[in-house]
């Protein structure tokens, strides 16, 4: 049986593929479990330079698998509460935290539908590249759910509270151009150029100062919960660590020598 989540690591590039294309990569319970296992494996590797999260087939992820959800409707309210809470706490939350905690850039490659947890997953990545035909919705309130995958933490930090509230409450669908305008994705390209655009971004990251990128990610992730003084201290410590690494020497020498830097990460 093919796994609902595939993980490949080649030359420091990890590709995490949501692999239920016939179901628009809808998030089933089996996929939740597989995603938690795959992200945990990534968290224990020390050879990564960049991670790409993608969906197999024509769509990124069309939200939760409603057939799986319907299979729980016979449960009592008390049993349902315990079951869904356990699923989120055991599988969803660890997956989101693992990707956030990786000391390397995580890029979402988005095409087709990006809804529900799929949108949470994209928001949790460090950058996102989408096709011009991709479409987005928070989706949750359409079936009377409030959201998961960190959407209530991530969305207001990208859009601000008022717009985040609107998107979560109304669950309107919006296109890739609007997603870029809002900051949900960084770049929008024609579908035929998606692979090349992601490959170019991956190559650029692999050529860059990897440890520096890890420091940047850590600082940005920490900043919402810090006072200015605390964040300034974190910056001082990260800056000092960067200055003590060989890539800093290479960056300075390349600039003074008027050549491109050759970082080793």
**pLDDT-above-70 percentage for the chain:** 100
Geometric angle at alpha carbon 174, from 173 and 178, rounded to 5°? 165
**Could you tell me where the beta strands, DSSP code E, fall in 12-126?**
13-18, 50-55, 61-62, 106-110, 113-115
Q: Please give the helix or strand (H or E) that residue 66 lies within, else none.
A: helix 66-70
**Could you tell me where the beta strands, DSSP code E, fall in the chain?**
5-10, 13-18, 50-55, 61-62, 106-110, 113-115, 127-131, 135-137, 174-175, 187-189
How many angstroms separate the CA atoms of 68 and 210, rounded?
Answer: 40
DSSP 108: E
Q: What confidence tens digit (pLDDT) does each residue in 76-117 have?
A: 999 999 999 999 999 999 999 999 999 999 999 999 999 999
Taking only Cα atoms into account, the Rg of the chain, rounded to an integer number of angstroms, comes to 19
Q: What confidence tens digit (pLDDT) does each residue in 151-168 have?
A: 999 999 999 999 999 999
Between the alpha carbon of residue 84 and those of residues 1, 89, 124, 150, 217, the distances in Å are 25, 9, 21, 16, 31
Question: What residue ranges define each of the domains in the chain, with the CATH number in brackets?
Answer: 5-206 (3.90.226.10), 209-256 (1.10.12)
Under 8 Å CB-to-CB from 158, ≥6 apart: which residues?
A: 123, 164, 182, 183, 184
Strand, helix or coil for residue 127? strand
Residue 265 has what pLDDT? 73
* Strands 50-55 and 61-62, bridge-based pairing: unpaired
Mean pLDDT of 136-141: 98
Between the alpha carbon of residue 218 and those of residues 39, 160, 231, the distances in Å are 18, 21, 11
Residue 219 banded pLDDT, cuts 50, 70, 90: very high
Residue 27's Cβ-side half-sphere holds a number of Cα atoms within 13 Å equal to: 26
Residue 143 has what pLDDT? 96
User: How does DSSP assign 224-259, residue by residue?
Assistant: GGS-HHHHHHHHHHHHHHHHTSHHHHHHHHHHHTTS
Residue 78 has what pLDDT? 97
pLDDT(178) > 90: yes
């Amino acid at each position: 049986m093919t796994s609902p989540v595939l993980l490949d690591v080649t030359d420091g590039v990890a590709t995490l593929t949501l692999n239920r294309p016939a179901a628009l990569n809808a998030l089933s319970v089996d996929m939740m479990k597989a995603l938690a296992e795959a992200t945990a494996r990534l968290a224990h590797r020390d050879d990564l330079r960049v991670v790409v999260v993608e969906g197999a087939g024509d769509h990124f992820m069309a939200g939760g698998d409603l057939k799986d959800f319907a299979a729980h409707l016979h449960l009592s309210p008390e049993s349902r509460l315990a079951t869904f809470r356990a699923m989120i706490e055991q599988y969803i939350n660890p997956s989101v935290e693992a990707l956030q905690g990786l000391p390397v850039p995580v890029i979402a490659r988005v095409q087709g539908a990006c809804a529900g947890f799929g949108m949470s997953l994209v928001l949790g990545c460090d950058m996102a590249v989408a096709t011009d035909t991709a479409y987005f919705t928070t989706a949750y309130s359409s079936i009377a759910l409030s959201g998961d995958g960190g959407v209530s933490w991530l969305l207001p930090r990208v859009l601000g509270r008022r717009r985040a509230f609107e998107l979560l409450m109304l669950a309107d669908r919006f296109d890739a151009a609007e997603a870029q305008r809002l900051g949900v994705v960084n770049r929008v390209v024609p579908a035929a150029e998606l692979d090349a655009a992601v490959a170019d971004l991956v190559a650029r990251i692999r050529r860059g100062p990897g440890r520096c990128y890890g420091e940047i990610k850590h600082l940005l992730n920490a900043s919402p919960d810090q006072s200015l003084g605390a964040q300034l201290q974190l910056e001082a410590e990260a800056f000092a660590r960067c200055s003590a690494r060989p890539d800093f020497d290479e960056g300075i020498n390349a600039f003074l020598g008027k050549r491109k830097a050759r970082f080793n990460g």
